[in-house]
Structure 1
Amino acid sequence: MSDATTISPAGIQHQLSIPLPKALAARIHMHLTIHTHHLLLFITTRTPETPGSPAPLGSFVYALPSTTQPTPLSTTLYFREDTIDVATRLAKILAKRTMLPVYVGCSVSFSAAGRGGNVDEEMEGIRNVVRTVVERVQAARIVEGVEEVVKGVEGVKV
């Protein structure tokens, strides 16, 4: 499920949903905003039993790629003990893969996964989120590059 909307100059927004690893009906829901100079990602998990109320905020982490160190730098902006590890890990991985500063809001719970949210399921879930986000960022960069080429061609006088 994907719904992409271009909001200029605020960025490109995506509402995405991917299955939770080894779970029958649980899903990871993402709200991704791709700006030219940073990413904003909010993720949460939902099951059919989850009430329709808004998801809790969870942890909020900022990470930026480092040009002098192999690992990105990160800082916690809002702390929730049950989600801080996933939020920090996601923010650092995304900053390194996209070479953009990243804000991650995370209220993900892997307890609804097939084996109760063990380490393998958590890593698979993080891997799926990273893959989905990186694909969207690469697609946005391709579109942005095409738009720049078109603008350059329009500016050429024959």
Structure 2
Amino acid sequence: MSIPQTERIEPSFKPLELSFPLPKALHTTVHVQVTLLDKCTTVFITTSTPGDSTGSVKPLGSFVYAMPDRTSPKATISTTIYTTPASIEYTTRVAKILARRTSKPIYVGCSIDPNGLGLTVEEEMEGLTQIVNVIAEKIGQN
């Protein structure tokens, strides 16, 4: 019995890198990196302002895994992998919404602290909506 020959294939993927202004947050730019894989998607989100030093190190923020609930299409399940108190709620919200909209597991790393940006609840929700819509559009899931 001979062993069938297999061809080794290296993974090949190129992350999507997006930047756009955050609505209602003066001079704040959102930076997103999206990596699409066969079984899941990885998203990293951060912000910058003109006063940020180019050599400064920003905190990584929280990291959350979310997946759609197979028993209930409108529900999602999430697990916090790493938490930063200022960004955990925002990160979890983004992860759950994207998992529900894409119907795939998703990892989200996010350092956005809406309280640190000085936004009202309405401004925060408008920013969250724009971030999710831009990511979902680029992924191809509306």
Structures share a fold, TM > 0.5? yes
Give the AA of the match of 1:21. Answer: P
In structure 1, C-alpha distance between the alignment counterparts of 2:121 and 2:112, rounded to whole Å? 14
Gaps of 5+ in 1: 1-7, 140-158
In structure 1, C-alpha distance between the alignment counterparts of 2:16 and 2:45, rounded to whole Å? 12
After TM superposition, list the pairs within 5 Å mapping 1:101-120 onto structure 2: 101-111=105-115, 116-120=118-122
**8 Å CA contact 2:62, 2:84 repeated in 1:** yes
Aligned with residue 51 of structure 1, among 49, 53, 63: 53
Aligned with residue 64 of structure 1, among 58, 62, 67: 67
Quote the residue 2:22 is aligned against: 20
Quote the residue 1:79 is aligned against: 83
**8 Å CA contact 2:90, 2:113 repeated in 1:** no
In structure 2, C-alpha distance between the alignment counterparts of 1:103 and 1:54, rounded to whole Å? 22
Give the AA of the match of 2:107. Answer: Y
The structure whose residues are more often helix, as a share, is 1
Gaps of 5+ in 2: 1-9
Indicate whether 1:137 and 2:128 are aligned: no
After superposition, the Cα gap between the structure-2 partners of 1:85 and 1:61, relative to the gap in structure 1 and judged at 3 Å, is: same
Quote the residue 2:44 is aligned against: 42
In structure 1, C-alpha distance between the alignment counterparts of 2:91 and 2:78, rounded to whole Å? 10
In structure 2, C-alpha distance between the alignment counterparts of 1:57 and 1:11, rounded to whole Å? 23
Deviation, 1:34, is 1.1
Deviation, 1:112, is 6.8
Give the AA of the match of 2:17. Answer: Q
TM-score normalised per structure 1: 0.76
Aligned with residue 97 of structure 2, among 93, 96, 100: 93
Secondary structure, counterpart of 1:11 in structure 2: coil
Number of aligned residues: 130
Q: Spell out structure 1 runs of 4+ moving beyond 4 A.
A: none
TM-score normalised per structure 2: 0.84
